[in-house]
Each structure stands twice: as structure tokens, then as C-alpha cells.
Homo-oligomer: A and B are copies of this chain.
């Protein structure tokens, strides 16, 4: 497909203006659309059918010609934009110049868990979009069934979270539920053991039966999981810290727990 760049959309074109508004959570909710940026996110949004509109600069259209072609085949509206329009749509310092407006992709908790989940990531009160994205990416990489953001969390569908997920927002079922108790009930009903990461756990990671269907509760970046929630978990698990560091950060702790779970479950199969 050949795009016509003789009169591209500018930052004043209504479609661009409306898309740029989607940086704000309130506007995403109102419009029932989300905005993502960059090759990985846009490619995943198009290939999974979530994208409705693609916006590309001339240089991005050349660089990502395959994505533009795929969008054409998949009935995604493709719009040529100029650099100023790209800047208005972007949240990055040097924008890749490729954007997609998409239908929301969040699932309900029940749907995300499906019928027999084996491995589920449950970030609690995640406050940093980059971390939310990294958690989706590592969960997807480790073959988890779903990511359930519980409590008062950042929006996993924000551009920044989507970008950090490198496309995984579109690949793995993701849900968001403010009511943590309700989430815990649903995890239990789904037959999952609930493990919580804790600085002072009952046991260390190598002492848990990780072959069982498992939901991992992961605390907030700054203050971890609160005591109430730790008490609700079946087992409080510590990752052994060997050096002089006090703890791991959220994403690295999640990576280690999920990798160990995935390995144990695979060995069991």
C-alpha cells in the first residue's frame, strides 16, 4: 500500500487532536479508545485486531512498511501525519513516528483467569507505568495466563505502560480490579495457591511447591504488600538476598518468581 504524504495530517487535524487527548486516562475512558506508540506496541495492536487507526510519519512508513501493509489488509484506517502531529501524539523524547488508536483490551478478572489458569501475576497497587508494562512483558514471556492489576493501580493501557510491555499488553489477558478482596476470592475459586513476595517470608523461593497452579501477589514499588494482604496469602515467600542489598526491585523480583514457577510447572508436565 502506498501512502500519500502530499498533505499529511497536522497537529491541528481533528483526528490527531482527538488521538492526542488519549494521553489522559479520563479521555481514554470517555472515548473508549487507547493510544499506543512505537513498533512493538503498534505491531501487536494491529496483528491482534485491537487497532482501529494507524498514524505514521513518512520516515516511519518507510521504516515500518510491513506494519503499514498489514494495517491496510486488516481494515485499519491508515493516516499520513507530519512531524508536528507525531510530536503531539508522542510521549517520548525521540518519537518513532508510528501510533495506533485501539479498542480497549482489558479483560474482566473472570475472563482473564479463564477456566484452569496455571500461572497468574497479580501486581498490587502498582504506581509506575513502566513497571506495569515490564510486568506484562515478563508475565507474557514466562507463559503466564494473565496479569491482574489489583487495587489502586496505574492504568495498564496508558501509552507508557503499553510501550514498556513491548506489545504484551495485546498478547496476554490483562485485567484491572480495584477490589483486592474480590480478586483474592476469584483467584482461590480458580484453584490457584496464592503466594506473596515478602522481605521476611515464611519460606524462601526454593522451598515452595511451585508446580501447583499459582497466583503471585507482588507489592507496590515503595511499600510492598501490606500486612492484611500478606496474611491473606497462602504462603509468604522471600527471594534469598545474598549480598548487601536490602531487596530487589519489583520487576526483577517478579521475573525471578515467574521464571521459577514456569520451570517447575514445565518439569511437572
Contact = CB atoms under 8 A, between A and B. Distances in A.
A142 interface: yes
B167 A246 contact: yes
A247 interface: yes
A152 interface: no
B242 A143 contact: yes
Nearest to A171: B244
A137 B245 CA distance: 6
Interface string A163-181: 0101110011000000000
Contacts of A206: 263
Copies per assembly:
2
Contacts of A241: 141
A166 B256 contact: no
Interface residues of A, number: 39
A252 B140 contact: no
Most buried by B among A138, A172, A263: A138
Contacts of A245: 137-138, 140-141, 166-168, 171
Contact of A248 (B141, B244, B260): B141
A246 B166 CA distance: 8
Interface string A42-72: 0000000000000000000000000000000
Contacts of A164: 249
A138 B248 contact: yes
Contact of A251 (B252, B259, B262): B252
A105 interface: no
